[in-house]
Structure 1
């Protein structure tokens, strides 16, 4: 069902694009390379179970939570691709 002047399927394309962008962002933040036994931020030991679950992990849980909170504060989930405002700027 078209919405206003939008072509058929445009809304679903925007949803798919938003989900795809979120997946790409999350995948780019996954640890890569050799992991550490101690956190690179605070120096505390990283538990063996965490190192097994996340190969390449470089931060302890507490430091990772802080980093995630900082990144969440700067990221907007609003998709401006289909916004009329973004076309005016």
Structure 2
């Protein structure tokens, strides 16, 4: 039996494709100019505050990295959806609950495995800083 129903598969597929189209449209909008906003020194103009320009460029690079990672996650999820492996935790092989899949269609782990991953990361990196 497949891990998800055909109705859920159709809904998730629709959401993933719409999100992918939205991200690609945003990327195209930012990069369709003669000088993409992520190019070096794009935000440096005469008499401009250089640290501020560097910060803007850094933010643009970070956004581009995030969008690239998101597109990859969407493509992986779509591939699993088409091959029948969607909705199965990559860590333990159990089914991921429908509510979790609907909340985050690119998720690849069940809640228990994700919590374990986060505990291991915290052990390696130490606790998050308190503010």
Please, what TM-score do these two structures have when normalized by structure 1? 0.44
Please, what TM-score do these two structures have when normalized by structure 2? 0.35
The structure richer in helix per residue is 2
